[in-house]
Amino acid sequence: MSQNNGVHGEAGATSTTTSTSTASTDASLNARAKTPKGGNRAGRNGNGRNPKWWLWSLIAVIVVSALVVGVNAFFTNKQNGENGSASTSGTAAAKQADTVSIGLKLAPVNLDIRHQSGSALEQILIGNVYESLVSRGSDNKVHPGLAKSWEISDDGLTYTFHLNEHMVFSNGDALDADDVAWSINELKANKYYNYDQVKNLEKAEAVDSKTVKITLSAPDSNMLWYLTGRPGLVYDKDGKWDEKTGALGSGPYTVSSFDPSDKIVFKANPKYWGTEHKAKTENVIIRFLPDDNAGINALKSGDVQVLSPITATLAEPFRKDSDYVVKEGDGSDKFVLAFNMTNPKLADKRVRQAIRYGIDHQQIIASRGGVDSPLGGPIPKVDPGYEDLTDLYPHDEAKAKQLMAEAGYSESKPLQLTLTYANVYGTELGDQLKSQLKPIGIDLKINYVEFSTWLQDVHTNGDYDLSLVDHAESHDFYKWATPSYYYHYDSKEVQDLYAKALAATSDDEASKYLAQAAKIVSEDAPADWLFSWRVTQAYAKGVSGYPENLSQTVLPLWQVTYTPGK
């Protein structure tokens, strides 16, 4: 289906318009500043006689009044300047800052987006420094990107993309169809990160300088979505840059500096080809603040103007302070308590079901500030295929005890399990789960580890009983249809339904199959979904344009501004 031009699909996107400066910002004064006509001469009236004395007196009064007003305006402006504000035409007005500082929790290890894993890398770079063939909006839908429109063949095997005009990389090199085709083919050939998402993509080719054709081996209803992420990023095939510490893209910002232990500094790209996404603030500094207290102190002191995320309970003082704004946004984050399906202790479905009945989700959500949403299955509200599955396993301690007793366990004869999770999530969740599961006959040992250790032991090696992690990715149901993933969940029925969803030729059909598969997964209880994390963000009054929804995965910064005192 052909798509309409989006925000980038404008003719002459790189052209600029200049205007002639005028004598004043007031149009009525400019009208009076014109040169006198014909026979009029300075100091004389139209009859050649000197002006009357009263006219001179009137002029003198006007001049004196203007001087008084000017002096008053000068001192008013001076005082406003000392107080950190600005004035225009004698009326106090706030001035937009040329720098905005943002505090985020997670930092990328490096900037090598082609090889390095981590959602923080995508959050920071995609849409800001690098651009993709199609883009992802804060509404979690596919939008035009480097391609202004596209068509998909009836059999779902051919995608034809029409690129925008006058596109360039930040080094000035032209961006055309050759760069697009090369980038996608290199992804596949070199097996860059997330190349497996587009396994059905056979090849990309440049039809002409502004047209790209992509051929698939089999239909894939997720293809456009995946092309909004790493698989769709376009690089300069002739460019050279240090991939670990720098970046070379076509987006509205460039990377000025990067220190994974401190911050990344963006500077507006002076060669940016677009108009709608042109940076509104010259400099954006992202500070990495994994410690909650450090983040709060940075916001209070003004070292950052935005703190995202902030724990909902810690945001309460800012809610009551008129100098700050606190909001919550929906996202795709799912706090997943995974049960290792290859672990003999968890092979008994009754044990897995008992764990789910034993968890009091509302209590957990309330302890976190009450802003998160219950989630009863593997698909979040913002994704296709979502269905409210929270009624499948409501909190029922009596039923949990009964199931554990049937499996041979009780509080006096508990099942010993270990919960392994990264210490970046704090100790409270582990303590709550330990407390809630104890009465039903589970002795839960908590193993707090560094995130790097979790990645190696749990994610890579699958060595765990229970695991807890925030899966932030959208459209990631494929993990439940992949037995080799660390969940080790293997259901032929789910795999078949997911295959049908991928082969679907309409969004509605794909969503129907996904919903059916998600319900089966939830009923099988290979995990518990503790909650859908709604991100709380706090920012100084005067900040505008910071994305509210999906900010953990989609963080367009071109529209962010800060006007102190506004």
**DSSP codes of every residue in 229-281:** SGGGB---TT----TTT----SSSEEEEEEETTTEEEEEE-TT---STT--SS
pLDDT on residue 507: 86
User: What confidence category does residue 552 fall into, taking pLDDT thresholds of 50, 70 and 90?
Assistant: confident
Tokens of 231: 């698989």
Taking only Cα atoms into account, the Rg of the chain, rounded to an integer number of angstroms, comes to 30
User: What confidence category does residue 118 fall into, taking pLDDT thresholds of 50, 70 and 90?
Assistant: confident
The β-bridge partners of 152 are: 159
Tokens of 81: 């300047």
Q: CB of 192 within 8 A of CB of 230?
A: yes
For residue 43, the tally of other CB atoms under 10 A from its CB is: 6
- 556 versus 16: the higher-pLDDT residue is 556
- Which CATH code, of 3.90.76.10, 3.40.50.300, 3.90.660.20, 3.20.10.10, is assigned to 112-232? 3.90.76.10
pLDDT on residue 16: 33
For residue 497, the tally of other CB atoms under 10 A from its CB is: 24
Per-residue burial over 176-185, b = 16 or more CB atoms within 10 Å of its CB, e = otherwise: bbbbbbbbbe
Domains of the chain, by residue range, sit at: 112-232, 253-329+535-562, 331-534
Cα dihedral sign, 327-330-333-335: positive
Model-level pTM? 0.74
Q: What is the DSSP letter of 4?
A: -
How far apart CA 467 and CA 142 sit, in angstroms, is 32
User: What confidence category does residue 93 fall into, taking pLDDT thresholds of 50, 70 and 90?
Assistant: low
Average pLDDT for residues 413-423, to the nearest whole number? 97
pLDDT tens profile 237-260: 999 999 999 999 999 999 999 999
How far apart CA 140 and CA 135 sit, in angstroms, is 10
Output the CA angle 258-263-266, nearest 5 degrees: 65
For residue 349, the tally of other CB atoms under 10 A from its CB is: 14
How does the average pLDDT of the chain come out, rounded? 86
| CATH 3.10.105.10 for domain 331-534 | yes
The closest alpha carbon to 237, from 159, 198, 197, 179, belongs to: 179
User: In this prediction, what percent of the chain has a pLDDT beyond 90?
Assistant: 78
Q: Does 299 score more than 50 pLDDT? A: yes
User: What confidence category does residue 41 fall into, taking pLDDT thresholds of 50, 70 and 90?
Assistant: very low
pLDDT on residue 268: 98
Cα–Cα separations (whole angstroms), residue 475 to 117, 472, 514, 520: 17, 10, 10, 17
Please name the CATH architecture into which domain 253-329+535-562 falls.
Answer: 3-Layer(aba) Sandwich (3.40)
Cα–Cα separations (whole angstroms), residue 290 to 36, 104, 469, 494: 68, 7, 16, 37
Kindly state the helix (H) or strand (E) to which residue 288 belongs, with its residue range. strand 283-288
**DSSP codes of every residue in 183-231:** HHHHHHHHT-TTGGGGTTEEEEEEEETTEEEEEESS--TTHHHHTTSGG
How far apart CA 486 and CA 321 sit, in angstroms, is 44
How far apart CA 115 and CA 130 sit, in angstroms, is 15
Q: Does 91 score more than 50 pLDDT? A: no
Tokens of 292: 């909650």
